[in-house]
Structure formats: structure tokens, C-alpha cells
Structure 1
Amino acid sequence: MKTVLITGCSSGYGLETARRFLTQNWNVIATMRSPRSGILPESDRLRILPLDVTRAESITAALEEAGPIDALVNNAGIGVIGALEATPMSKTREVFETNTFGVIAMTQAVTPQFRARKAGVIVNVTSSVTLAPMPLASVYTASKMAIEGFTASLEHELRAFNVRVKLVEPGYGPTTRFSQNSDIRLEDVIPEPYAAFAKPVLAAFAQPEMVTTEAEVADAVWRAANDETGRLRFPAGADAVALFGQR
């Protein structure tokens, strides 16, 4: 029976992905910064562990407790909406610490066991903004674009060791909210000169023409984790597939 470790399982895509792997009879290690009970079905194949991907000691402790794994799903992420000139550099660094450096750190930590066994898969969850950037999301987009390049390069690097590396690119899903886990108020990052421009953009965010569901992302992660071809990218949701096709 295979084991998957998933980051960012307290809600959204991570939580639904954990549920999906449980239904497929995998052992699931669902990690989150502040573990919560009752959000996943009880199972002897489930463990919930604390993990903050921005802290090296937290990564080490979680992986030691997890033991050998067959798949890593890097899902943990935060977002921010706002005009760049009003976004504090402290917030930009916070976004990159989780979305970019956290993914790299987790990947670096599990690579030795995958390489030694000549088996394993790493699935990095990014976003369709990497191919269709949206306004007022430049920092978030940059953090995810970095992971697109990182993953594409790493796939070449690890292929010789039979370690598979995949990307899942979700379309827009309001339930994930760009401002989730953010302590910045919207009015603080949309200064007055941007107000007229921002109004229709934010309205479009609130009522998108197409919505990517958590189940669609979980399905894409599942397919990516089990794909044994050379395919790298897995768009998730009708909007992402419409934009980029089944690449």
C-alpha cells in the first residue's frame, strides 16, 4: 500500500486531495500548520501531522515521523491581492517563503529517499495564473511562476533516478481566496489611484465565469501522482483546460 504526504490539508484543495487518496486506499499523511481533528474521515490509514513548510526544523520533524513515503504533494500556499506598489516587501517575502521556498525545501528533503529507492513522485500545485496572469496578483503569480520553472527543470534532473515530477495547474476557485491566510486588508493594498481599475477586476474575482472545484483539483493531483508517462502538466478545472488544453 502506497503512502502520500500532502501539505496544506487544513482546508481547500489539500483537504479534498487527502480525502481522494483515502478513498483510493492509500496511506495518507495529511499535514497542516495547526492540526485539526474531525475534518477528515477516521481511518487507520490516516495520520495528521503538524508541518510548517517555512521552518526547516518542522520539515525535518514531520518527515522523520512520517517515515518512508511514495508521493509528496506540495499544496500548501498563501495568496495576496493588491497593487504591487502597496504590497509591503514583508508580505511579498511571506508569500515566497510558503509558495516557493517551502515547496523547494520540502522537495529537497524528500529527494534523497526517492533517489535511493529509484521510485517516487513529487506533485507541485501551482495555478493557472502562471499561464494567464491576472491583474492585482503579481506577487502571487511570481511565486507560482518560480515553481513552474523549478518543477520543469527538476523533472529533467530526477528522471534518471526514476523519480517523477509533476505540475497541477488549477483554474480559478473562489473557495481558495487569494487573501486566505493573509493579514492585509484589501483597502490597504488597493490605493485610491487604482480604485477605478480594481473595481471591475475584483467584481470578476467574485463572480467568475467558470469555477474550478476542489474535487477537480484533487482528481488532477490523483492522476498526476499515478501517471507514469513523461507528461509534466495537469490543468485542473474546465477553465484551465479551456485555456491550456490537455497538455
Structure 2
Amino acid sequence: MQQFFAQHASYCDPTSVRPWHWRTDQFLAGGGELMDTGAHYCDTLRYLFGDPRTVFASVRQLQRLPLQRDDQVVYDNREDTWVATLEFESGLVGVWSCTTAAPGHAFTHLVYYGTEGCLLDQGDVFLGPFPKGKVILKDGAQIPMERLQQEFLASLGEEGRARLFPYGWMEGVQLECYDFVRAVSEGEPVEVDGTTGMKAKAIGAAILESAALGQAVSYQDVLAGRIEAYQQLINEHWGL
């Protein structure tokens, strides 16, 4: 794999008042979709490509969205737009961008490029790759993602399927719960632990830190807490 592009643009009407909830508060949630649903994509990126080396990003709030909190209207204080370039330890480079402040034309486009072709995803910029995607080779041949999944399952054999998909379960949350119960009952570590989650969240944090500083940042420095320009605002709010 050499490069990827994950890009989304849509529009939220700033004249529409939406209900307030804790996720709409920067100081409770840590940020907007970047630190919320974005954590899932960051986890996928680490799983597929390993750790980033550097992150360079621009993060903006292009429009203020009103929120109804009890008997008053408050305003969303989180980002609604980001454009990030991520360079990984492996040498792979990717662009991840998202905005909900783009009127007129909405689009989502995700492509992962290797040396022999690409994976064209058909989902969103947070939770893919999706089953409706396809591999397109440089000679024009196309292979549906669903076919690749079927071939992978067939290659596992009974023992492999039982290990990865116990009781025939295929749904992710079921498997997470099973893995937790298994770990507790057997005294073994879970497959995805808190440290893994922290490393995924650190990618989103690095995007915010890069934007706050106006320069590229080291992912490892953000992970270790050595860079906290954006985080400092939250720390001060809570007296940390």
C-alpha cells in the first residue's frame, strides 16, 4: 500500500436548532466527529497501516450550529472541518478530510492505492472499508469486496472460523463482548485493550494539535503527552 484518500463533504443547516447533548460540548467530548466517530477510522488506519510518523492538519469551525440546552440556545464549539495529511512509519501517506459545512454538493470518496491497483470503498470516512467496495486492478479488472470476504472465509477452514467467529457470530459488537467475557473467564488479555484505544485516539488528537500549532507534529510526541497545545484548553477548563 502506498497512499490513500478519504474525503467527505456534506452540509448541516445552521438555521436549524438541534438538541444539546454531551457530545456537542468540546470540553466533555474532547472535540467533534474527529474525536468521536473518527476514533473508529483511526483504529482502522493503525490496524491496516501501523502507527503514523507525522501529522499535518488544518482544523476549522466554518459555521456555528445552534443547540437547545434546557430553556436556552447555546452554540456548538467543536470543529466541523478538517484536512489532514498523515505520513506513516511504513512510508505510506494519506489524506483524510471531512466537512459538514459544504453547501451545494455533497460527496464521499475513499480510495486506497497499492502498486497493482486500488481499493475503492463505497461507505463513509469513519467505519469502512465496507462490503460494497471493490478492488480495481491496473489492467481494469474489478473484484468485489464481498467476493474477497467469501474467499477469505473459505480459506480459514473450520478451526480458523471457530477461532475468529465463535458460534458463527459475525457481528462486531457480539465478538467484542465475547472476547471480553473470554478474557475474564480465562484470565487472558483482550484482543483490543485500552492502550490500543488510546493509540487510535492519539491520531485524532495529533490532528487537533497540529492545527493548534500550525505545523506538523510527531505522533509519538502527542501520544506521550509532550505536545498539548489543543489539549491545554481542555485541561485548564477542568483544572487539570
Question: Is the TM value for this pair above 0.5?
Answer: no
Quick check: which has more Rg, 1 or 2? 2
Decide which structure has greater strand share.
2
**How high is the TM-score relative to the length of structure 2?**
0.27
TM, length-normalised to structure 1: 0.26
Which structure ranks higher in relative contact order (CA pairs < 8 Å, sequence separation ≥ 6)?
2
